[in-house]
Structure 1
Amino acid sequence: MHRHTNLAEALMDRAMLCAADEALVYPAEGGGGQRISYAALDAHARAVSAWLRARDAPGRRVLLALDPGPHAAAALLGCLYAGAVAVPVPAPTASRTEAERTAAIAKDAAVDLVLTETAHATETSRRLSLVGRTGITCLAVDGLSPHAHPAPYAPAAPHNRTAPHTASDTRTAVPDTTPARTTPDSLALLAYDAGPATAPRGALITHGNLLAAMSALCQALGTGRRSRIGGWLPRHHTPGLIGQLLHPLWLGATAVPLPVRPHLADPVAWLRALSRHGITHTVAPDTCYARCAAEATDEQLAGLDLSRLRTALNAAEPVSAATMAAFHRRCAPAGLRPGALVAGYAPAQAAPFLTAEGRGPVPGLDLRVVDPATRRPQPDGMAGEIWVRGPAVAAGHWGRPRDTEAAGGFLRTGDLGIARDGEVRMTGRTHEGGLADSLMVGGMTLHPQDVERELLRCGRPLGSARVFCAGPGTGPLVVVQEVGTAGGSHAALAGLAGRVRECVAEEFGAATGGVLLVRPGTVRRGGSHKVPRATLREQFLRGEVRPLYQDFAPLPREPAAGGVV
């Protein structure tokens, strides 16, 4: 499919060639699910595209705030067809941090239009109003008929400027259904994978980047027309959006997006989904594989068929050889093939490609391990920061050209790694400079500033907190939380620790590995001065933090009962 100059042309051609084939499967709880053909998805996407083009959308930023599902897929494809720039964000939930992040993204990207769903239109409007983005026209995609096209755009009346105007009319107009004239250098996505909620950074991903990423994913995963590609990686971040949605659609294969939180909470449910839906290619973090190896029992594995799984890539976190061996031993009785589990590397941000050990280099990719202080390449076996550039790598961040200029055209991933024999393995996240703003926890990106701010909002007796990972930017999440009840009973302190865990789980969907409740002055000293995270982490690792109460979740180390040790 190298002949195409943009991804929209490639997707439209696939839809025509595979019209009756299964494009998307959205599993339902308890089995079954919603199945969408290429023809149906394409018709819906063309209707969205016509609506956008009637509003002069080519080249403009369009916020996508939808639940993972067929409407979200149609909205994304509609943006690409129309030559608009998609800006994906999560659908509104009760999370205050997500609300702040969406508002900040809308402001930073200066979005011109919004695609959402009827159920989320009001809340999306409220979030935009927080940053002065009023008077923006919204489309409730679920109210748009795939077989009708909206009338040409008429601006909203001047007096109605306090909230976005939600459009769902389907009056007939003659649409232009050809893809917009975009080139490989045309911007396709602003991917806000990086930065805290108050200062998000949007990676500039072009149509050329996406086309190059498709070929790179083919090589890393070994995918083809008969593949069924599925997983639970979040669809508003590049690995899930591009690897588990756009890539299968580009192939003419089947995408099986799984809901994030249920499968993140119960990895064995992920194994059941792989078996039930015949998924052939998946990607998950090391934590997920480790939990499956430790928690899956013989009874749970009975009846599962993992023989159709061709590639299970372990990426997005440092890969443990012990995890790889334990997962294979545990799942071999369910039909997992030798060699199906592969270690790889997926950059945390702005580079929508994957590498897999033993499957050769990505064409055109220049991947280096660099000393962050001297900015010189490290010799094989020496740890450093991973820098990347190439056709599948974003050129930089929206409004921040110096990000790549300062690195000689390379994108600084913020990941730590080691190079050996032409391959790179991730070992953690850097704590150097401005890149120390994200942690990898269970394959999810967390920004410690966001977690700390949310814990402070919980009110008394909880005070200031510091959040870090036990490993170098990865591993179990540790919260050092000041409390104002130093004389509290053991039961009262245990309740406060539970409150901390509950807050992190509900707001961010992440499990907390350890909670240390400490006296005031441990985290915040001298009024506004807070102890640096790196300093407090070192004190924690040396056993120098003196908690009033501590609670550590058990970490799975060995396969569950019945597993081979």
Structure 2
Amino acid sequence: MHRHANLAEALMDRALLCAAGEALAHPVPGGGEQRISYAALDARARAVAAWLRLRDAPGRRVLLALDPGPHAAAALLGCLYAGAVAVPVPAPTASRTEAERTAAIAKDAAVDLVLTETAHATETSRRLSLVGRTGITCLAVDGLAPDATSPTATATAPPTATAPPGLPDSGPVRTTADSLALLAYEAGPATAPRAAPITHGNLLAAMPALRQALGTGPRSRIGGWLPRHHTLGLVGQLLHPLWLGATAVPLPVRPYRADPVAWLRALDRHGVTETVAPDTCYARCAAEVTDEQLAGLDLSRLRTALDAAEPVSAATMAAFRRRCAPAGLRPGALLAAYAPAQAAPLLIAEGRGPVPGLDLRVLDPATRRRVPDGVVGEIWVRGPAVSARHGGRPADTETAVGGFLRTGDLGVARDGEIRMTGRCHEDDPADSFVVAGLALHPQDVERELLRCGRPLGSARVFCAGPGTGPLVVVQEVGAASGSQAAFARLAGRTRDRVAEEFGAATGAVLLVRPGTVRRAGSHKVPRATLREQFLRGEVRPLYQDAEPGLRTPAQPASGGAA
């Protein structure tokens, strides 16, 4: 493709060249798929762009709250076509924390418009009202016909279908490489989210880098369940295949995160050739897939499967390769990779070397000096596909130093390759853990657990590893007495709340006496301190529900609990 001024021009050119080709293969209930051509997707995107341009969209921030699929793709492309700034968030679920996060993002990004679906329009408007954003115009994209008709949208309810005449030209607005394309909120807790601003230039630079890292081409079928509001899912598994003229296979997040073996079946069913998943997903597949299930799988079409989005275990990769070889998995298909959240994204794959133009360094976070190969430090990155900064607050300026962006990831350099080992600055209020490939903010979990009600009290949440690994909850109980059965119910309530709110499994729940987490004067014990005590076996729970490797000595309790 010739040199383009922005990603919208590149995507429109591709749609023209591949009009009859398959742009999307969207899974539908029952195991089938809905196939959308490039021409059909382009028509839908142009209709969205026309609607946006009626509202002076260039440069305005547009919240995208949709399920993965054709409507989400049309909404994103429509924003790019119209010169608007896309602000993707998850489609509404029952999670209160997610609702708080969406409301905070809408406020932080100062969104002007909302694109959603009819099923989510009312709830999305309710979430915006939580932060006083009640006057925002909301469009249900599934009510917008691709023949350049446009429904009238309202601010507080699903739009009605009336078509004003005289829509403007839906060709691309003239934006430059420096124009903002999207705001990706992957950092910060629900109440204080932080964005990585991604420009059209970042996206244009990322596309050939992804092609090199993944070995993709026009015949690729790129799919996975990584969230579409994160750059690795949004750019790597949706925009990249559309830029290539390939096929995107957008899978829903929660079902496949909960059942990785079902994800393997989906890769087979939809003929996926390139995918990305976190290390825990591959580990669970290797441990849980049965011989009978393997006999019904064909993974021979999978050319590249990247183990990324969290620290990679060599043992996990060896186990997955060995276990899935009978299903046709190619020996060199599974590769370790690192994908900085602030990139657009860039993937550095094992054995394929660094991406051209990318400067990646491992530095001591205190001295800002390079550390020797094999020594853990913080990963710093710069390059044309890397966001120039974190979003808007003055405190965030420290994240960009000398053109480098501080990722907050810990890693080691060996033979010119970078391996992520965890997260740093555990007690930084803007920090996150990496759990099953997704960012989980400890203060969000702790705040949610306070809502569980009596006799549960304050909690501290951390990972067994350095910012990653099994999740550990140290939960105070209001009374030390109780039966084993009563404690088991309380631990189960804690596990269930974490799973329902955040979709995350808990490796260990420790119920402890009052004062273990919150000391006199309402001061909480730092997470780092409590984690070290836990790893040394110094946290003595009244009751614990833990994986064998995470069990710690218990203390006797009155009332018969051990």
State the TM-score, normalizing by the size of structure 1.
0.94
- Is 1:477–2:471 an aligned residue pair? yes
Secondary structure, aligned partner of 2:345: coil
Over residues 453-510 of structure 1, what are the superposed CA-to-partner deviations in whole Å (9 max), with x where a residue is unaligned?
A: 0000111111000000000000000000011131110011001111001000000000
Summarize the Cα distance change of 1:291–1:208 in structure 2 as closer, same or farther, 3 Å threshold: same
- Is 1:357–2:354 an aligned residue pair? no
Contact 2:429-2:443 at 8 Å conserved across structures: no
Of residues 425, 435, 445, the one that matches 1:441 is: 435
Contact 1:479-1:512 at 8 Å conserved across structures: yes
Which residue matches 1:537?
A: 531
Secondary structure, aligned partner of 1:527: helix
- Is 1:202–2:202 an aligned residue pair? no
Shift of 1:404: 4.7
Cα root mean square deviation, aligned: 1.8
Contact 1:140-1:167 at 8 Å conserved across structures: no
Q: Distance in 2 between matches of 1:165 and 1:321?
A: 49
Contact 1:134-1:164 at 8 Å conserved across structures: no
Which residue matches 2:168?
A: 175
The percentage of counterpart residues that share the same residue type is 83
Of residues 345, 349, 364, the one that matches 2:338 is: 345
Q: Distance in 2 between matches of 1:319 and 1:394?
A: 24
Q: Distance in 2 between matches of 1:445 and 1:350?
A: 15
Over residues 158-203 of structure 1, what are the superposed CA-to-partner deviations in whole Å (9 max), with x where a residue is unaligned?
A: xxx8x47846433332431220000000000011111000000011
Which residue matches 1:44?
A: 44
Contact 2:426-2:467 at 8 Å conserved across structures: no
- Is 1:125–2:118 an aligned residue pair? no
Tell me which moved more, 537-546 or 319-328.
Answer: 319-328
Shift of 1:390: 0.7
Residue type at the aligned position of 1:452: E
Tell me which moved more, 330-339 or 141-150.
Answer: 141-150
Secondary structure, aligned partner of 1:343: strand
Summarize the Cα distance change of 1:502–1:433 in structure 2 as closer, same or farther, 3 Å threshold: closer
Residue type at the aligned position of 1:231: G
Q: Distance in 1 between matches of 2:481 and 2:252?
A: 43
Secondary structure, aligned partner of 2:223: strand
Secondary structure, aligned partner of 1:434: coil
Shift of 1:23: 0.8
Which residue matches 2:112?
A: 112
Q: How does 1:94-493 map to 2 (within 5 A)?
A: 94-150=94-150, 163=156, 166=159, 168-400=161-393, 403-404=396-397, 407-431=401-425, 434=428, 437-493=431-487
Which residue matches 1:79?
A: 79
Summarize the Cα distance change of 1:282–1:165 in structure 2 as closer, same or farther, 3 Å threshold: closer
The alignment covers a number of residue pairs equal to 549
Residue type at the aligned position of 2:308: A
Q: Distance in 2 between matches of 1:504 and 1:18?
A: 44
Secondary structure, aligned partner of 1:193: strand
Q: Distance in 2 between matches of 1:168 and 1:366?
A: 50
Residue type at the aligned position of 1:21: G
Q: Distance in 2 between matches of 1:387 and 1:350?
A: 11
Contact 2:50-2:148 at 8 Å conserved across structures: no
Contact 1:345-1:424 at 8 Å conserved across structures: yes
Residue type at the aligned position of 1:328: R
Of residues 488, 491, 515, the one that matches 1:494 is: 488
Residue type at the aligned position of 1:483: V
Secondary structure, aligned partner of 2:44: helix
Q: Distance in 1 between matches of 2:278 and 2:549?
A: 16
Q: Distance in 1 between matches of 2:144 and 2:376?
A: 52
Summarize the Cα distance change of 1:135–1:496 in structure 2 as closer, same or farther, 3 Å threshold: same
Residue type at the aligned position of 2:64: L
State the TM-score, normalizing by the size of structure 2.
0.95
Q: Distance in 2 between matches of 1:170 and 1:20?
A: 28
Residue type at the aligned position of 2:452: C
Shift of 1:327: 0.7
Q: Distance in 1 between matches of 2:254 and 2:499?
A: 10
Residue type at the aligned position of 2:123: E
Over residues 242-263 of structure 1, what are the superposed CA-to-partner deviations in whole Å (9 max), with x where a residue is unaligned?
A: 1111111111100111111111
Of residues 540, 543, 549, the one that matches 1:546 is: 540
Residue type at the aligned position of 2:91: A
Q: Distance in 2 between matches of 1:435 and 1:380?
A: 30
Over residues 423-462 of structure 1, what are the superposed CA-to-partner deviations in whole Å (9 max), with x where a residue is unaligned?
A: 1000111126637620001111100000000000111111
Contact 1:351-1:394 at 8 Å conserved across structures: yes
Secondary structure, aligned partner of 2:318: helix
Secondary structure, aligned partner of 1:322: helix
Secondary structure, aligned partner of 1:352: coil
Residue type at the aligned position of 2:536: R
Contact 1:369-1:386 at 8 Å conserved across structures: yes
Which residue matches 2:554?
A: none
Residue type at the aligned position of 1:84: A
Contact 1:440-1:474 at 8 Å conserved across structures: yes
Residue type at the aligned position of 2:382: R
Contact 1:476-1:512 at 8 Å conserved across structures: yes
Secondary structure, aligned partner of 1:23: strand
Q: Distance in 2 between matches of 1:435 and 1:420?
A: 31
Tell me which moved more, 546-555 or 209-218.
Answer: 546-555
- Is 1:28–2:28 an aligned residue pair? yes
Residue type at the aligned position of 2:260: P
Shift of 1:225: 0.2
